Amino acid sequence: MNSFAFHNPTRIIFGAGTLDKLGEQLAAFGTKTALLVYGGGSIKQSGLYDRVLQQLEQAGVRTVELAGIEPNPRVSTVRKGIELCRAHDVDFILAVGGGSVLDAAKAVAVGVPYEGDVWDFLIRKAQIQSALPLGTVLTLSATGSEMNGNSVITNWEENLKKSFGSIHAYPKFSILDPTLTYSVPANQTVNGIVDTMSHVFEQYFSLTTDTPLQERLCESILQTVIENGEKALAQPDNYEARANLMLCSTYALNGGMISVGMQQDWATHMIEHEVSAIYDIAHAAGLSVLFPNWMTYVHGERLDRFVQYAVRVWNIDPSGKSDEEVARAGIQATRDYFTRIGAPSRLSELNIGDDQLERMAEETVGFGPVGSFRKLQAGDVLEILRSSL
C-alpha cells in the first residue's frame, strides 16, 4: 500500500425527504443570491423545480437561473453562467440534476473569481485558486460528482472534452434523496450502472499490492451495483434498489476513498471522453463498449487481479481452468452483464465508424501516455478503439 492523504469536505445528506433540508443548508452558508443550475427540463416534469423554488423562497434567497445544461455540458453554457453570476452578484451556486448539471455548476463556480477564460482550467493553462461555494441536489446516480471535485466539460467548437479536479470544486453539501431518481428512464439508469462500475474498475485494476481492504470495498460496490441495478430496472420506484445505487455511485468516485494508497488507472475514461467529444454520445455508452476491450488488452499485466475479479465478483468457478481462462471468463461476464441490461457493446451500435479513430487516439494522449495498469500510447489506444468497432 502506498502512503496517502485523504480529505473529502462534502456533507452528504441522504434519504427520502431530505430535499426539505435544502433551505436550512443555504441559510447556513449565508446565501443571499443563488444561481440555480439545471438541465433540459426533467426537474420541471417531476415537480422537483417547484419544490426547490419553495425551499429557496423560504430561506429568503434571491434566485437567478441557468437552465438548459446539456448532457455532456458545454463550455459556452458555462461561460453564460459565469456572466450571470457576475451581473447579479451571485454568492452561492445550486446545482439540481445529474452529473452534467453538477459539472457545469462546478465550472461556473471556479470560473467566476478567475479573470481569464474558464477553459484555461481544462487545458491546464491555469490553476484553480478559488471558487464560489456550491451545493447540489442529485437526480441521477452515476458520476459521483456530488461528492468529488471533478468536472468534465466539452468544447464543442473544437471537439474537445476535458476535465479538471480541484479541492475548491467539492460541493459544500449534496442532498441525495433516492426518490428523486425514480423518474430516471431505463437507458439513463443503465448508464448510471455502467459508469459506477467503471469508476470502480479504474481504481481496482491497479498494480499496487497489499491493499486487501480497498480491493474488497471495490468488490462490494461492484456486487451491490450488479444486484441492485437489475432490481431498479425491473421496478424503477424500488426505494432500496435506488438508495443502494445512489450510495454506490457516490462512494465509487469521491476523491478515492475506496482506493486510498492505490495507483489508479483512468485510461478508459480518457479514451471515452475523446469519443464523446466528437460523437456526443452518453459517457457510459462509450464506457460500456470500451471497458471489456480495455480489460482484454491489458489483463496480462496482472493476471492475478483479473482472476480475483472473476472469482469474487462474478463467482466464476476456477476449478479445472487456467488463470487465463478464469480471467477471460470474468471479462466475458462483464460484457454479458452490460448486454443483459441493454448497454451497447460495439461503437457501430452508436453509429461510430473508423474514420476518426486516429484523431481520438492522438487526443487521448495529448497530455502524455494514459493509464498506469498499463501505460497506453496512441498506438495502444488505437488498437482498443479498433477492437471496439
- Interface with ligand NZQ by CB under 6 A: which range of 36-44, 79-87, 126-134, 228-236? 36-44
Contact with Zn ion (CB under 5 A) among 91, 103, 177, 195: 195
**Which regions of the chain does DSSP assign to beta strands (E)?**
11-14, 33-37, 62-66, 92-97, 134-138, 150-155, 160-165, 173-176
Q: State yes or no: residue 250 binds ligand NZQ (CB under 6 A).
A: no
Nearer to Zn ion among residue 31 and residue 148 (C-beta): 148
Q: State yes or no: residue 274 binds Zn ion (CB under 5 A).
A: no
**Three-state SS at 57:** helix
**70 vs 40: CA distance, rounded Å:** 7
> One symbol per residue from 265 to 284: x for binding ligand NZQ (CB under 6 A), - otherwise; what is it?
----x-------------x-
Nearer to ligand NZQ among residue 191 and residue 244 (C-beta): 191
Tally Cβ neighbours within 10 Å of residue 21.
16
Q: State yes or no: residue 71 binds ligand NZQ (CB under 6 A).
A: yes
Cα 43 off chain centre by: 20
Contact with ligand NZQ (CB under 6 A) among 39, 81, 135, 171: 39
Q: State yes or no: residue 179 binds ligand NZQ (CB under 6 A).
A: no
Grid cell digits, residue 347: 461503437
C-alpha dist (Å) from residue 281 to 70, 97, 210, 352: 12, 18, 38, 10
Number of chain residues interacting with Zn ion (CB under 5 A): 1
Q: State yes or no: residue 72 binds ligand NZQ (CB under 6 A).
A: yes
Place of cell 450488479: 226
Sign of the CA dihedral running 56, 58, 62, 65: positive
**31 vs 23: CA distance, rounded Å:** 10
Site for ligand NZQ, residues 83 to 102, rule: CB under 6 A: 97-101
Q: State yes or no: residue 183 binds ligand NZQ (CB under 6 A).
A: yes
Query: Which residue's beta carbon is nearest to the bound Zn ion?
Result: 195
Q: What are the residues binding ligand NZQ (CB under 6 A)?
A: 39-43, 46, 71-72, 97-101, 103, 139-140, 142-145, 148, 150-152, 180-181, 183-184, 188, 191, 195, 253, 269, 283
